[in-house]
Amino acid sequence: MKSRYSIFSLARNAMNYHKDWERAWRSPTPKSEYDAVIVGAGGHGLATAYYLAKTHKLTNIAVVEKGWLGGGNTGRNTTIIRSNYLQDPSIAIYELARSLYEDLSRDLNFNVMFSPRGVMMLCQTEHEFRAFKRTAHANRLAGLDCRMITPEEVKKIAPIINDDPNCRYPILGAYYQPRGGTGRHDAVAWGYARGADSLGVDIIQNCEVLSIRRDGGKVAGLETSKGFIKTKKIGVVTAGNISTVVQTAGLRLPIESLCLQALVSEPIKPVLDCVVMANTVHGYLSQSDKGELVVGGGTDPYNNYSQRGSFPALEHTVTALVETFPIISRLRMLRMWGGIVDMTGDRSPIIGKTDIDGLYVNCGWGTGGFKSIPGSGYVFADTIFNDRPHPIAEPFGLNRFIEGRLIDESVAAAVAH
């Protein structure tokens, strides 16, 4: 068991000039066999391993990762956390995740800097206003703390917003989730990694899965760049690369991989203390604790595995935000990057069993992966351990595409993708 982080450990280590901090996780060599192996050490994969070890006491497990942990979409998102989706199954899983975030720093003994600063989704057309009102009613029925607010309240919460009633897309109101906000994305991965590691989980980085070995209708193990690992249960959580991994087991998925870009500005003094999403004009904005404005928008339109987006998508996002926040028009941008997101036809995730015994998938989170990490890991761990879908995960099974029982969130997603 690792020593706990606390004010006392900080003081003790300060005495030694911080030379004696122990490593947050080990770098073990893979064993020849595990009870279960998770593929992909992003937030979702590490959370799955953590809850398998903590809740289900399954500790002879490994997480294998092609690169370094948290280096994919977990380190590439805009860190927004909210749960105000339209459909009941989505509300259940995203709210589970959001509520777990509230307590996550204490649970993991690692500060994930969850900041429930409020998420405001602007209504800039009459149609959008009515659509969000519908979502608001659905959310209130489900017990979420969300409400519609007036243009005056919007201006009060975000004074830098353009409230000119004569602009092309005037602010008609907003849909507000006060308990939504942001978190520190890297800390979520690191916290779960440290937590899982201290419970005995082997996190094996720089270990690429080359193929999934099958023994008839069930899995036998994984061929990796560090040799064969025998296991009866494999959970694949590799976001944009899911198709290439499960293809080696002969499994096809209703997924396409697209590039989603984000960018941050130079740090400035505090101007915005909530998350603002402007869906009609396609952009969203928040300010990090360092002072950078964090900007995101829609995906590039075509299939892409390169983690590099193209300029028109960025230009579109920035144009929209300058219109909404004229104050940022001369701000310089520091960094931009892209992540490969796994999009499903109904913009809802796929969580559950497959036709192959012992092969479980958790993917299709598309552009909404970060906010769902704790909830996704929680229900996926339960699904793998009990070999049946967790009740909250059940509607998200692969069979929904055959039954036509879609969970359509293409409207409730932050911006149209």
Partner 1 sequence: MLIVHCHVCGAEGDETDFHYGGQAHIARPATRDPANVSDAEQRDYLFMRHNAKGLHFERWRCDRGCGKWFHAARDTVTMEFKATYGISELPPRALMEAATGEWAVFFKDRLAKGSEA
Assess 410 for contact with partner 1 (CB under 8 A). Answer: no
**In this complex, which beta carbon is closest to partner 1, that of residue 206 or of residue 303?**
303
Instruction: Give the number of other Cβ atoms within 10 Å of residue 372's Cβ.
Output: 27
Contacts of residue 14, defined as CB under 8 A and 6 or more positions apart, other chains included, come to none
Burial grade of 357 (CB within 10 A; 0-12, 13-18, 19 or more):
middle
Answer yes or no whether residue 225 interacts with partner 1 by CB under 8 A.
no
Between 161 and 258, CB nearer to partner 1: 258
99 binds partner 1 (CB under 8 A): no
Q: Which stretch binds partner 1 (CB under 8 A): 10-18, 43-51, 111-119, 240-248?
A: 240-248
Cβ partners under 8 Å of residue 139, min gap 6: 84, 85, 91, 146
Q: Which is nearer to partner 1, 119 or 242 (CB)?
A: 242
Interface residue with partner 1 among 79, 344, 362, 372 (CB under 8 A) is 344
305 binds partner 1 (CB under 8 A): yes
Torsion angle in degrees (nearest 10) through CA of 240, 389, 50, 110: 80
Locate 59 and state its tokens.
């500790």
Given candidates 20, 22, 126, 403, which one binds partner 1 under the rule CB under 8 A? 403
In whole angstroms, how close is the CB of 241 to partner 1 at the nearest point? Answer: 7
Q: Are 360 and 384 in contact (CB under 8 A)?
A: yes
* Residue 103 CB burial class (10 angstroms; 0-12, 13-18, ≥19): exposed
Helices of type H across 199-310:
242-246
Stretch binding partner 1 (CB under 8 A), from 46-54, 166-174, 255-263, 375-383: 255-263
Length of the chain: 417
Q: Is the CB of 197 or the CB of 342 nearer to partner 1?
A: 342
Cβ 197 to partner 1 shortest distance, Å: 30
Smaller CB distance to partner 1: residue 83 or 224?
224
Where does this chain bind partner 1 (CB under 8 A)? 241, 243-244, 247, 252-257, 301-306, 310-312, 344-345, 401-404
